[in-house]
Each structure stands twice: as structure tokens, then as C-alpha cells.
A = this chain, B = another copy of it.
């Protein structure tokens, strides 16, 4: 069995990977149970290691959570870096940003659980990380520049706050997934099916693009 193999005869190379494995286990535990619901020994069990190893590598529960959050934000950064949007025209760039944001969350549900828990704790863990603090600056710059390019070429409405737009884009994808259980119950619909997700993604793109392009034609509204 896996567990047996793990407990005995670990090679030196395995040892080097243990930290990664613990981090993965902690991510799974924290994201599904929340910080308070997560158990250190459950994390150790998930990772197939002795609980003391967890303390050896990460110090304590809070520090472990910080490490998990930093890794999660690295994933986010990766998703943003993977797309080279600046080469695209403003409309294509923006719709691709919306789509990649949707994929970011739907491919990494654990990020939603982690962010949800971290907000319950008033972001006390990530506040300790300078690395995270400035993670979004490039993205906000990109949004601002793309908006400007769109306005310049007459495609986008003017006067849109990049921060507000970023929140709107994230909100559309995040909320659908973060609240999938309560929404599924009161709306009598499974929000996690492949069709539901595809429809949501299409809808989100439509909403954002409609908004951006709307004002460009009729500036008397709103």
C-alpha cells in the first residue's frame, strides 16, 4: 500500500519532497475544513508523515497556514503569467482575462476555501507576507493599460476604475463557486456540473464585455 511504502524505506530523494507533500496535504485540509476546522494530525495523516515532522518543517499551525497561502498565491500568479495578454487587442485581452480568472478558480477550488477562511480571520495570516502584498500590482497595471487602450480605440467606455473592474471580474467567478453549496440548495440547481460551469463562464464574459463596451456607444446611461 501507498502508506506502507511511505512509512518505510524512504529514499533520500523522498525526504526532500516531504515538505511539498506536507504542504499539499495542508492545502487540502485547510481548504476543505477552514483554518479552525483543520487538524494538524489530519494533515500529517494525509501526508503520510509523523505529525512532528510537520512541526519540524513549519513550526506551528499558523505558520503552516501562511506557507499554504503563499503557495496558493503563487498558483494565482502562475495563472496570470501564463497568459500573454498584452499582445492581444483590448477586447480579446479582457475577455481572455475573464476566462482565465474563471479557470483559475474552477481549476483550483482549494483557493476559494483558503481565501474564505483567511477572510474570516481578517487576513491575519497573509498580512505577514510582503510577497503577497504586491502580487497583484502588475495585474492591476495591465487592467488599467488595457482599459486605456480600449478607450483610445473607441471600444471601451471611459471612467472605469481598474480596481472596481478587477473585483467585478473576480466576483463573478468566485461567488458562483464559493457559495455553490448554499446556492445549489436554494436555487435547486447543481452549479458544479460541466454544463453549469461552461454556461457560467460564457455568461460572465458577456456581462463584463457588455459593461465595457456599453458606455462607448451611449454615454447618457447609468
Interface residues of A (CB under 8 A from B): 32-37, 113, 115-123, 126-127, 132-133, 135-136, 140, 161, 163-164, 166-168, 170-172, 174-176, 178-189, 199-200, 202-211, 213-215, 217-218, 221-222
Looking across the interface, which residue of chain B has its beta carbon closest to that of A176? Answer: B167
Whether A203 and B127, one on each chain, are in contact in the complex, defined by CB atoms closer than 8 angstroms, is no
Report how far A135 CA is from B189 CA in the complex, Å: 14
Interface SS majority for chain A: helix
Report how far A161 CA is from B179 CA in the complex, Å: 18
A184 to chain B, nearest CB (A): 7
Whether A178 and B222, one on each chain, are in contact in the complex, defined by CB atoms closer than 8 angstroms, is no
Other-chain contact of A175, B34, B122, B167 (Cβ < 8 Å):
B167
**What would be 13 A-B contacts, judged by CB atoms less than 8 Å apart?**
A34-B117, A35-B37, A37-B120, A116-B178, A117-B120, A118-B181, A119-B178, A119-B181, A121-B181, A132-B186, A133-B188, A168-B204, A172-B172
